[in-house]
Structure 1
């Protein structure tokens, strides 16, 4: 981690020398000496980090360097915080003086400024003293580097990589070289046999060393709808890992069967087993236990007994690296599938598929690639990781350098895949390395949310290397994409709006790798019985801690005593007793604090002392009713997550002092009244939701729709709910969305009031103006008769549009004129009887110019259009009109009166047609007549047609199959 820390500290030192505090002791000379030493050390860090794997003395030297780097980072951060605090106090003082002139009594903050000044001077002197002490320590470390004969760093190609487009990646969706194993597994899954008559289910272990693709192989089958959904009533995926904890596994199974059962929150095994036994009864299940390590007969058999009431033909598929697991689980020898290494040919096929993605093959590079692949020893993960690395290398020399790298000679790294990971890791810049290593704080099979992860990186100051804090999120996305390209992440979930990756996981071996590199800094701690931690934290070297479970839901005292240098604290237990009032008094260095999904009812006042805190996540604490006023003292706070804190009614006015707050998440806090002072947070970039409230007597003190106009930096996505609470269209205009060029996704929800028709809805909707950069728009619960004001039709970059629950509007707008629209969903427009040519943007007259209607539309959905009878077509001979030339999917759900489809559809490139639900009888009948069948003949390009729950055509082959 030192290689990642040092550049950050140098940047921090350089910026700090430019700042002064009134009355501050001058330490410019000390700071300049620190910069000199750090620059000298930085020149040899690459060599030092590569040598630490097998040289303990170098590893110790780097550890001492890390300690000093962390300390100076804390000191400089306190210095900068003092500057910021001084500025805020001056502003508060000015406001209070103004109040005094208006004969209002002097407030406490002003008094504290006057009488707190002496203490501030003392603190500044202490900072100067600590900088001098650290300089002495760093001088010694800088001198010792000469004992190791380090080579100075060379410029690596990856430094250039980050300045180019990095969002493209290769995801290998098929499994290469496992055809025979899959055929054998499918045969075992579909057989109706039980486990030798003793049990209704069969256990099938997939055994193989790490990096062979066991999990990917299991996922291939698990996600095959044709196999699994057709032959099993339910499917369940559970990540097990080490140790084998039957309560966690039982809870995961029970939650998959019935997430609403209160027994799933039990901390005892028996209620969970009873829940499983009840809901699995008579069902044919498919259960995957991924990454099983150390089960014993004692903790395996209770789970199996709970599954005995299932139907014959049920299956348990487990993946494991250990041969002994198959014996413990009672699997028959002929049901064990051993995954072996890939053949050279299959390994090379996988390598080439990624390494030469989107570029021409080169005979010279292919020959070197064959030699590199041989070093992978048939491990798919090693081949995939190295191929991802080689994608970024263009010259023969760069390929030869990888082939000849000394990493291959390291005996200390036993697993071949670790060597390939080291090669990719050292090709990363220090900035991207530290982002990767931070992921070690999370457990195996953890699903990373991209935005959350980037905000955590920001909180650790991993993204502020170049002094441009406005572009930190963009830089974080580039780093994330870089790690995706290098195959450090997998199992991607994409955003429907822009197709970007928003969630992902990390391969178990990659997780092992990052934990190997951070074993002294990142720690996952479990308390298994009173006073005894399973993984004891023994010293102050731990910087990032995840508390996975607690005994009796208590907060381990050892954290206070042994972890004073913590920078990250994640509490992952679902239940936690009230935190002690002094919970944070000793944890002064924390930057990132995640207490989400706990049962916290109160946040201690002492949280205000965490001067370094930049990220606070209290989401899903449903019983949390308030935040302490001291939260306003977190001057460095950048991210505050309060999602689904449903008991939260208000937040303190002191939040106005959070001048660095960039991200405020309150989705699910439907009754939260934001104070009007939120409008003072001019750096706020993300406000995910705004729930408009009727403030009653205190109406002037709450944040209203028009107050959005003060938040000029808003970007990303915004959902505005309860719009019917707005007074009139002027409030919508005052929101000034037209000035928010980085706001790309907007949801306008008018609320679920019982008023039949609300004329005010139209006034409010018309009052909005948006920037033309807007990419997606959802309008929900709109109860006026006229829809789509002129500003919607001016959204030339709009790619997604959805209307949901618009019951009184009977005519569709000319949406066909939107030039960039790719996805359109019209849901519950119950007054629409006819979709005419005006929907296409076509008038009734013969067109004089060429018309291209819906030029980029790919997917069109009509849902629950209960009165819809007619969809009007156009004259076939009209060659001046092009309609939906990009349409690939059409979905019609519960449109019971629709009679036929328009003739222009068969001219589109439509590939998938779904007419779903038992309530489309007229349209289904039309398909059974000559009209419908003639339409199908003309639309021969449609590969998948599903009507009334039956397949008419699947993968281009005609069929009739019950759903």
Structure 2
């Protein structure tokens, strides 16, 4: 908390015992030495040299993690590096020591991080791909890169960003250490202009360059590139939106950097790359994400060393070059968010080393990508979207794709083009196709969009998918039955949307089981859904359900399940006929939002003793909040009412006083 000068909080160093606890946590995995009394005295002496600095204690603790013998600890305690004067490099001796004893395979990975400016936030996968392109990994594999990254995190050289768990930063003092070790090889500048003749930097020695983007990056800013003849990395950084880059830089200067391994032009308003991009024959990483690129030159096929091609959110790109099939060492092709890309060349089937293929667009013509090409991509990992499945004439291609043998996929998205005109008449064929598209049982997330069959194959909901935690079924308008999902062992999130053929959700949905792990359930745009029937009188089919949304289901009349004792958030919108069971238990509900419904729904809700947030909008036939409803609102703090034109008053208790006496805020707009 920042205040005036009279309220400055001066941060002191840690006391010895506190510092020892931090050290032990990182060295031993516990905050004390009870299980390792033989190491305690040595640990105390090491911690004394940390001078109460928690970062020093963390890095030294990480250095000794897993080393539970006295000689290893004494070796660190007696190192000559402690005797070096801090003023010689302005680096804490404890940090220099931690780097000195890093395994040899981690040192170049850590030093490479000096490329980025202080406080730069980076994604784990992004950094690993740059490591691979720059050749700093001792083992050239994505798995080794992730292992090295995790080791640097465990040793406190990298740490999670406070903003999000999936991103990481370097502590300022650790960054100083990286820059000290990197010397002139890694260079980053916030404002990079022409060569400064007074600068002590030898630009010819710079190998890795990053700089902060400006809204308009003019050519003068990059005159320094004429000196950096051996540059291997060119990376713009910063959180600015779409920026402009001088054509002189793109078309004249960058193609002359023949030693480049990693090139990023992300976030620039670039519409075209020069043919001379093919001259960068050592390039292994090319990031064009969030640019306005419309197509790639055929000369991209000359980049035979390319491992990573990122076109994420290039929504203007129309096609991929046929020569992309030459890139046999390509591991990562990210074309997610390329909404204008409607076809893919069949030559992509040559890329048998692909680990990432975010999207596959099925084509009809021989020159276009076929679904059967998937049989060449057995190493795929992560997420895969398969689009335009209506182009399959029969199940033969789906059978040859052999999805069940791609065991590295976590997320699978299967989509047919929307059938708004009812032009498709291949119900039986689509049922057969989806049957053959059964993935490996390792799958964690599955989405099916605009499937035209009348029912789903039995593999959807099969308990063999013991890792499937998220399932979405959207706009499958011809389906008349939902798949049997009650036995899915770890299903946590279920979204069912636009299933216009469904009239009853009944026993077949539960399959004599309970949704034992389900936490989030959404029904949306179910225009003909009338009944939700529980298989038993006692309910209890959703023991862990915490979030429930029912939106735009105008014909739904039958009641909600009777046992929703774990429900915390409930949204009901566009359901004018819906009511709750008189026995529906909502004892854990904290947030309730009701819109475009009938007042009878409120009257049927009981046990709302935990409700703290209530929003009511466009409720018909309601002149007062019903007493049978408000009597349970003993914990209500915030109430919002809008568009309830017939409402004239809030409910009163028997003494003529407001019964909602726990309210902190009330907002009405009726």
**What TM-score bracket applies, with the shorter chain setting the length?**
0.7 to 0.9
Corresponding residue for 2:209?
A: 545
For 1:565 and 1:530, the matched residues in 2 are separated by 17
Q: Work out the CA distance in 2 between the residues paired with 1:401 and 1:448.
A: 34
Choose which of 29, 39, 45 in structure 2 pairs with 1:357: 29
The range that moved more, 566-575 or 858-867, is: 858-867
Q: Which moved more, 1:571-580 or 1:757-766?
A: 757-766
Tell me if the contact between 2:290 and 2:311 (Cα under 8 Å) persists in the aligned partners: yes
Q: Structure 1 CA distance, aligned partners of 2:268 and 2:317?
A: 15
1:892 equivalent to 2:562? Answer no
2:603 corresponding residue in structure 1: none
Does the 8 Å contact 2:463/2:489 carry over to 1? Answer: no
Unaligned 5+ runs, structure 2: 595-607, 613-632, 640-670
Contact 1:524 1:535 (8 Å CA) reproduced:
no
Whether 1:711 and 2:381 are equivalent positions in the alignment is no
| CA–CA distance in structure 2, aligned partners of residues 651 and 710 of structure 1 | 19
Deviation at 1:450, TM superposition (A): 1.8
Task: Give the aligned partner of residue 296 of structure 2.
Answer: 627
What SS class does the counterpart of residue 570 from structure 1 fall into?
strand
Trace 1:291-440 onto structure 2 (pairs within 5 A).
332-357=4-29, 361-412=35-86, 418-440=92-114
Structure with more helix by fraction: 1
Partner of 2:610: 952
Q: Distance in 1 between matches of 2:333 and 2:548?
A: 36
Name the residue aligned to 1:302: none
2:564 aligned with 1:564:
no
**What is the match of residue 524 of structure 2?**
864
SS at match of 2:267: coil
**Structure 1 pair 447–869 and aligned structure 2 pair: CA distance change class (3 A):** farther
Deviations 1:502-528 (A, max 9, x none): 432323332232122213110013556
1:743 aligned residue: 409
Displacement after TM superposition at 1:819 (Å)? 3.7
**Cα separation, 2, equivalents of 1:542 and 1:807:** 56
CA shift for structure 1 position 358: 6.4
| Cα distance in 1, alignment partners of residues 592 and 297 from structure 2 | 57
Instruction: Please name the residue that 1:915 is paired with.
Output: 570
1:679 matches 2:353: no
Query: Cα distance, 1:646 vs. partner?
Result: 2.5
Offset at residue 639 of structure 1 (A): 1.1
1:730 and 1:413, CA in 2 relative to 1: closer, same or farther beyond 3 A?
Answer: farther
2:193, 2:222 within 8 Å by CA — same for their partners in 1?
no
In structure 1, the gaps of 5 or more residues are 1-184, 186-203, 206-331, 496-500, 843-851
2:268 paired with 1:592: no
Pairwise CA distance, 1:398: 2.8
CA distance in 1, matches of 2:87, 2:422: 70
Distance 2:194 2:305 in 1: 36
- Alignment check: 8 A CA contact 2:398 2:436 kept: yes
Calculate the aligned-residue CA RMSD, in Å.
3.8
The answer to whether the aligner puts 1:636 opposite 2:281 as a matched pair is no
Give the 3 Å change call, closer, same or farther, for CA 545–531 of structure 1 in structure 2. Answer: closer
- Residue 119 of structure 2, aligned match among 437, 442, 445: 445
Question: Are 1:811 and 2:481 matched, yes or no?
Answer: yes
Name the SS for the 2:366 alignment partner.
Answer: helix
2:154 aligned partner: 485
Report deviation, 1:572. 4.1
Q: Report which stretch shifted further, 502-511 or 748-757.
A: 748-757
| 1:554 Cα offset (Å) | 1.6
Map Cα deviations across residues 470-512 of structure 1 (whole Å, 9 max, x no partner).
Answer: xx111111111111211222235999xxxxx743232333223
Judging changes above 3 Å, is the alpha-carbon distance between structure 1 residues 370 and 771 closer, same or farther for their aligned structure 2 residues? same
Over 3 Å counting, the alpha-carbon distance change for 1:356 and 1:429 in structure 2 is: closer
- What's 2:645 paired with? none
Determine the C-alpha separation between the residues in 1 that align with 2:161 and 2:531. 41
Answer yes or no: is the 8 Å Cα contact 2:24–2:30 preserved in 1: no
TM-score, length basis structure 2:
0.77
Deviation (angstroms), 1:729: 3.3
Which position in structure 1 is the counterpart of 2:181? 517
**CA shift for structure 1 position 739:** 2.7
CA displacement at 1:380 relative to structure 2:
3.0
